[in-house]
Structure 1
Amino acid sequence: MDQLLAMRAFARVVEAGSFTRAADSLDLPNATMSKLVRELEAHLGARLLQRTTRRVTVTPEGQDYYAKATRILRDLEDIDSSFNVARGSPRGHLRIDVGGSPARDVLIPLLPDFMARYPDIRIDLGVADRPVDLISDNVDCVIRGGPLDNSSLIARHIGDAVMITCATPQYLKQFGVPAYPEELRNGHRLISYMSPQNGRAMPFRFEHDGNRIEIKAEHRIGINESNAHLAAAIAGLGIVQTFAYAAHSAIRDGSLVEILKKWRPPPYPFHVVYPQNRHVTHRLRVFIDWLLERFPARISCG
């Protein structure tokens, strides 16, 4: 038995909650994962996992072994990282999750710089506005905008995005140009962003001279993905609040027109988030440092 590989396999099953997801994250066949865990249990003389057709449950002995095994695995990674640091060449695999709009308009255009600086780091990029479970999905970090509500995670603030309100010239010609936020309640068609976390429409927010207003008028259409949300505005379906960096091209070519400029929404914070109980590898540390250097200027345009 390869005890180190068996320990890693067992730890991933615990974190992922299933053999299938754990096998995918380690790029191993399901049968190999099961065999490794069985051999580890036989070696220890203890049942670590209770398996049923529907789920995997960790036994008390398994919980104790997991806590001790993960400490050893983190120590081994520390040793590997120290040699990478000494060579000045971080290497390995980073799994990053990011929303649709910041992926398309911010992170991906910047990535050639990161890949040139760190050619030995491979990246798997998950792109979706839906939240992910960093532990069970085996993600190293996520880049997310908006308020944070999970205190079990570590978050680093990486910048604030400028928000604007806009619509097509054709829409404004048909329905008129609102001069004040309250006018959005009267006959205007709103395109709401639907929160992937709870499915609720995000209110339209405005700020001017310290005064803040929220408009929760009934929307004409609601969309839960940021790129599609902007596309709906460009298609002339109504008024949208979106990131200035995302709408920049459409504003420049006249496809969209910014309205209520004096009432721009408050800045929208972005964070890079990672689990507090997971070791921060050299490759993750340099990625976070790079984000802090390059991300803020890109999202604050407008």
Structure 2
Amino acid sequence: MIIATTAAIIFHSLPDKESIAMAKKGKILGISEQKVILPLAIMIKDNENEWRGVSELTEAKDIIKELKVPLYPEDLVSSFPDPKLKIGTTITINRAPIIYLNDGGFEKELRTRKETISELFKEKNINLNPLDKMSIPLDSRVENRLKVTIIRVGERYEEEEIVIPYDSKEIADSNLLKGIRTLKQEGANGKRIKRYHLVYENGVLVINDLVSDEITMQPKNKIIVYGTKIPVLSTDSGRCSWTWGSTASRRYKKGTKLRVINLANGRSVITIVGGWGPESWTGRILDLNASAFEQIASLSTGVINIKLEELAE
């Protein structure tokens, strides 16, 4: 700055010829006192860089802002000489250490003057959950350009409900007439519960473990009973032998369905009358086809006592 008076011209920074000329002109014009302000020479430096410029401001932070030099809240600023002296100054920015933090996949730059990572997290309100993973211990010392990674870990349990379909079963009932069907038991689905343990890292599923598989309700089968009993139209009893031909009867016409029961062992067989016989003088009421006879008695038995049932179909 140049102060021009009738007595002297005082320079607080090195003026150029044009400034001196302006000051002299002021005197020649008879101006009793005139202030001519010249920009001050400024140098700003931090841990790595230097900036040079000029400014008429007298506050260090205002000068830094005017010269568009980055300044962060954690930085410390000093200057010498004091800018208020208006003789030029050097401003020093003591940069706080930078920490490059990857928090759950998101990149952040943190500046701090704390000594440990734990203190830094407390300062920046960065909270860790019990399952979270750190790339370095929390008590690690803060160093400039240190890289720190937090893997955010979350877990939950999930249940899957599975329906167990019921089966349908049909049961024959010889005491129920053929053609009749009854519902003995309604069917009901069962239930199965699968429980999974899910673990996520930075929102990505990394573990999906089945921890339990339990049937909480057994299915109940649907049961239908159907009759196999054929209605008996008439009965007869007497002696029976066998023949290599078709079953023969004097009483029942051809095509009649008969149930033949061996009274000696209770075995039975169903046969169709295919012919007439045997003669009455034989004392037999039926000659049974040999293959059917073998199902209720040995052919060597020859003659057996039977019960006949005429079936409806």
User: What TM-score bracket applies, with the shorter chain setting the length?
Assistant: under 0.3
* Structure having the larger proportion of residues in strand: 2
From the two aligned structures, give the one with the greater helix fraction.
1
Which protein is bigger by CA-based radius of gyration?
2
